[in-house]
Structure 1
Amino acid sequence: MDEQLELTPGPPPRVVDVDDYRARADAGDHTEVNETTPTALLSRIARDFCRNAAPVQIRGTLEAPSNRSVWLDRDLQEWITFDNIDHLRVLGGGTLNGNGHQWWINSCKTDRSMRCVTGPTALYFRRCNHLLVEGLQIRDSMQMHVVIAYSWRVLVSRLLITAPGWSPNTDGIHVSNSREVLISGCIISTGDDCISIVTGSMFIRATGIFCGPGHGISIGSLGANKSWAHVSDVLVEKATLVGTTNGVRIKTWQGGDGHAERITFQDISMHNVTNPVIIDQNYCDSMTPCHEQGSAVAINNIRYRNIRGTSSSKVAINFACSNSVHCDGIVMQDVFLVGEDPYVSCSYMNARVVELGYNFPYCRAEM
């Protein structure tokens, strides 16, 4: 994880004006229904880039349709998607505006009387190897802002991702089933996880991240609906979290199977974070109660090193592990967290914790 990803340089950017595509459509080049809608225009531009293997540079502001029916009538789950492209370079200077307000106020997370509907992701990369994404601003996505899925050797750098703190399910960067991903120098302020890393992801490094507001930096959730999950070899370092509901978190559902292992959180600064360090093996994001199960995703070889700052709750460290599959190999080294009442505590259940260096609050080593 200490090696920097290197991507070979590509050809110079090719400049495309969206208005050129609109003019072609108005002149009779109608290959799709409603070709002049922003979503359809972007789809055509993406196809042309893929055919010509050119880098993509986004300038100005691209705005998604704010009317939910545009998406729901066509069952669209993604706004801008790049699929199965090697050596793709998406360069910034511009802004993607998801216009997500109507999705948020009609979310079942905001209003429990509403039907739960998955909103579109703003920017989705699927099966893209040797991918570079750099310098973009993405704001107010309908749901997740950026998704990296089934990809290998990815560099995501200098993104500015923003949405209101109350906006539901608006994860900043979501990594799934991907390997060798470096996320560097990003500022993420949303209503959900700043970074979420889920099953099938290995050798992931996030460095130089500012997070807040939001739900912190999370591994998971893993093992929902009794599924098998695996995340390994993750390094989160040099991060600053301000006013988040969680700091660094591992969350798994009861009833799942698999492993979350060899995960390190180090050199992290926290300010007014509600749950600075948390492992939750009984995670339940459901309208109905989650009953205790006889299996769980195993959590082992987790290291916390040089984490300092303030907790807005009295429990600064919370390891809530499963009765059936205990957390093992948790190492705390030079973790110092205080609150308004300086005597914050460590709460742990079914976890084997080893203390190195000077730690506060102190977590006993017994099960």
Structure 2
Amino acid sequence: MQDVYFSFLILCIAASSFGIGHGQKVFNVVDFGAIGDGQIDDTNAFLSAWQALCGDDVAQGTPSLQIPEGKTFLLQPVKFQGPCKSVFVHVQVKTFQVQGKIIAPNTIEEWNNCQADYWIGFVGVANLNMYGSGLIDGQGSKAEHICFRIFYTVEVSFSVKLLKKQSRTLQALNFEKCDDLQLSGLTHVDSPKGHIGITDCNGVLISNLNIAAPENSPNTDGIDMARSTNVHIQDSMIATGDDCVAINGGCSYINITNIACGPGHGISVGSLGKDGQYDTVEEVHVRNCSFTGTQNAARIKTWQGGSGYARKISYEQITLVASKNPIIIDQYYCDGVNNCRNSSTALQVSDVTYSGFQGTSVDEEAIRLDCSDRGCINIVMDNINITSLDPGKTTYAYCEHTSGTSWFTAPYVPCLSVSGY
């Protein structure tokens, strides 16, 4: 069923691409007053162009918001709101074409809204295609310190919880309730926090992106998704200070293919079940990905005290180059800020397959299945060969409350029934 869905989505992409140049109506932000010198605030011009596009009732073609090359556009936190008018919404893909450069403010005098949940947001825009060869630069190291200074006094006067809430702000690019979304070709750098957020979306195709942030930049996830279904991420390079891809609660039918991750914290399911929350994730499939110099590679992380499940998950044909935790299930996850307490309840982790892992681990412990008393059920290892980065050392596996099988797996996993080795 999922293959049929993605085949249909690809056909829609082909149809929309064919339509470009045939009846396409272009809304160039420069025509609406954008300067593009990197100094003057172009937010209002972008909004005016978007409102013209979104309110345009065209009978044929694809309305396109164009950001021309050779210019640098400064934007404050901005929301592009849908739904948009169109006679044939189901076939007319509204496009957001980026060829130039978009930057965030980089001084405390310029940044006017640190309370925003994102820097650039699209809400309720169906059939949105955002593509091009341009650059989206969050100027993260500067922006994060700006907002930290603004809210530091608030934290001192009131609570760490409030500071924590504000520290999740400033995701660079966020899509909420944007069904049948396409995102491709762009370069995303130095977000103040997460680079790309996908929330409450159904039908997403992300491809050929280049996402980069320093290895020591905190919480700079590459792609972070929640409550979304039928998401396909492929053919991209992601190097950040946090998860290359994070799959959070409410996600299902996620396919991640041909991603070069590193540095970063790997491709992670979770964290799930925080503050006793009920979370579910299922049908997540990661294939043909590489992890170079990552803190983790294939990771599932859940908090104690939560409920729900993470199931039907697979990591297949994985290449490891000096990964610190190549395979890890952590049901005792704690971010170090919270007062993490022991609990007798946990999410159920089941039906997880690891297949075709080859490469090196920085630590001798190459596999860690640290499951709660409820246990991790039907964990399958097949054709795993993880060796130490140090030729003089031997890798090993740790596991607790885990059941399943393994075929031709090295290092040996003591909790699993062995069929070959």
Same fold, TM-score > 0.5, yes or no? yes
How big is the shift at 1:366?
Answer: 5.6
Report the AA paired with residue 20 of structure 1: D
Please list, as runs of the form range in 1=range in 2, the aligned pairs for 1:69-88 lying within 5 A after superposition. Answer: 71=111, 73=113, 75-88=115-128
Is the Cα–Cα contact under 8 Å of residues 157 and 185 in structure 1 kept in the other structure? yes
Corresponding residue of 1:66: 106
Computed over aligned residues only, the root mean square deviation of the Cα atoms, in angstroms, reads: 2.4
Corresponding residue of 1:6: 8
Matches of 1:262 and 1:66 in 2, distance apart? 43
Q: Which moved more, 1:72-81 or 1:57-66?
A: 72-81
Correspondence 1:355 to 2:406: yes
Is the Cα–Cα contact under 8 Å of residues 353 and 363 in structure 1 kept in the other structure? no
Correspondence 1:223 to 2:273: yes
Corresponding residue of 2:376: 327
How big is the shift at 1:69?
Answer: 6.0
Is the Cα–Cα contact under 8 Å of residues 225 and 251 in structure 2 kept in the other structure? yes
Query: Normalized against structure 2, the TM-score is what?
Result: 0.78
Matches of 1:320 and 1:154 in 2, distance apart? 32
Corresponding residue of 1:30: none
Matches of 1:307 and 1:267 in 2, distance apart? 6
1:298 and 1:99, CA in 2 relative to 1: closer, same or farther beyond 3 A? same
**Residue identity (%):** 33
Gaps of 5+ in 2: 57-62, 64-93
Matches of 1:87 and 1:201 in 2, distance apart? 20
Is the Cα–Cα contact under 8 Å of residues 38 and 63 in structure 1 kept in the other structure? no
Report the AA paired with residue 367 of structure 2: I
Q: Which moved more, 1:15-24 or 1:175-184?
A: 15-24
Residue-by-residue CA offset, 1:111-131 (whole Å, 9 max, x unaligned): 999954233111111111111
Report the AA paired with residue 330 of structure 1: I
Correspondence 1:236 to 2:238: no
Gaps of 5+ in 1: 25-35
Corresponding residue of 2:394: 343
Is the Cα–Cα contact under 8 Å of residues 253 and 282 in structure 1 kept in the other structure? yes
Matches of 1:14 and 1:67 in 2, distance apart? 36
1:224 and 1:45, CA in 2 relative to 1: closer, same or farther beyond 3 A? farther
Corresponding residue of 1:171: 221
1:334 and 1:99, CA in 2 relative to 1: closer, same or farther beyond 3 A? same
Please list, as runs of the form range in 1=range in 2, the aligned pairs for 1:1-367 lying within 5 A after superposition. Answer: 1-2=2-3, 4-7=6-9, 8=12, 9-10=15-16, 11-12=19-20, 14-22=25-33, 37-52=41-56, 54-68=94-108, 71=111, 73=113, 75-105=115-145, 115-116=163-164, 117-323=167-373, 325-339=374-388, 340=390, 341-356=392-407, 358-365=408-415
Is the Cα–Cα contact under 8 Å of residues 352 and 379 in structure 2 kept in the other structure? yes
Structure with the higher fraction of residues in helix conformation: 2
Matches of 1:16 and 1:164 in 2, distance apart? 35
Is the Cα–Cα contact under 8 Å of residues 32 and 46 in structure 2 kept in the other structure? no
Q: Which moved more, 1:339-348 or 1:72-81?
A: 72-81
1:170 and 1:361, CA in 2 relative to 1: closer, same or farther beyond 3 A? same
1:267 and 1:366, CA in 2 relative to 1: closer, same or farther beyond 3 A? closer
How big is the shift at 1:134?
Answer: 1.1
Q: Secondary structure at the match of 1:102?
A: helix
Q: Which moved more, 1:213-222 or 1:285-294?
A: 285-294
Is the Cα–Cα contact under 8 Å of residues 211 and 240 in structure 2 kept in the other structure? yes
Residue-by-residue CA offset, 1:119-151 (whole Å, 9 max, x unaligned): 311111111111111111111111111111111
Query: Normalized against structure 1, the TM-score is what?
Result: 0.89
Residue-by-residue CA offset, 1:153-202 (whole Å, 9 max, x unaligned): 11101011011111111100111111111001010001100000011110
Q: Secondary structure at the match of 1:365?
A: coil
May I ask how many residue pairs the two structures share in their alignment? 352
Higher relative contact order (CA 8 A, sep 6+): 1
Larger radius of gyration: 2
Matches of 1:334 and 1:237 in 2, distance apart? 14
How big is the shift at 1:55?
Answer: 1.4
Matches of 1:230 and 1:85 in 2, distance apart? 26
Report the AA paired with residue 377 of structure 2: D
1:130 and 1:366, CA in 2 relative to 1: closer, same or farther beyond 3 A? closer
